[in-house]
Amino acid sequence: MRTPFIAGNWKMYKTVAEGVALAESLRAAFDGLTGMDLAVCTPATALMAVGQALAGSNIGVGAQNMYWENEGAFTGELSPLMVKELARYVILGHSERRQYFGETDETVNRKFKAALAHGIVPIVCIGESLEQNRGGETVPFVAAQIHGAFAGISAEEARKVVLAYEPIWAIGTGLTATPEAANTIIREAIRDVLTELYDAETAQAIRVQYGGSVKPENMAEFIVMPEIDGALVGGASLKEASFGAIVKNALAALGKA
């Protein structure tokens, strides 16, 4: 059985003080929670302070990006060694990184390998545009992203990744894929492809989150889908009330509350 996993992506929000305040409220809200993995992925400036605020709790800390070299003349980047000191997880290939900063399947693959080499759990994001979705191109496009991300990755290494299926058209727009559609895409474009690349056991071991305008009102509908193992939450993760409600609604839907 795959352990459900809900992670908050704070994007470019929260000063250090604001991040610590939110982390402390989340720690209090989720104290003693079992049956689900939780994490918050903070801006780089807040990683250390939020990590200290959550030390010893059941909430992990993640970075939002990482470079693949251990060190060097790469101004503005974070190396795996830097991330490893401060975080357990790292988001790779988020659609905003692909859209605004030139991230490609190749760079995601290089970062993926670097994260694994340093014991960091990668949360690798994949997903299609609205045009691709309406044009019936979702499955081949997402499948190609899977092939690109997992190039040169062994089955043993592959089992350590978390995938986040985030249809680009649903991120921050208020639009969402239907739970049934997301479940089908994850099965056909992700698990079936991973079965071809590796084997059915490996494909079934990898956790896949849904992301894209996740909120308390729709979390239960997604989490009960057999292929969906949690969520990568954007805007709704910025407040304890909404993120807490997402987690509690998911637990209730799974019969773990």
Enumerate the active-site residues: 94, 166
Per-state percent for the chain, helix, strand, coil, to nearest 5: 50, 15, 35
CB 53 within 8 A of CB 24: yes
Cα separation, 42 vs 201, whole angstroms:
32
How many Cα neighbours within 13 Å face the side chain of 174? 0
Name the helix (H) or strand (E) containing 91: strand 89-92
Which among 238, 245, 247 is positioned nearest to 5, based on CA atoms?
247
Cα separation, 105 vs 109, whole angstroms:
6
Structure tokens at 29: 């809200």
The DSSP code for 195 is H
Place of tokens 């407040």: 239
CB atoms within 10 A of CB 50: 29
Helix ranges restricted to H, 152-215: 155-158, 179-185, 192-197, 200-205
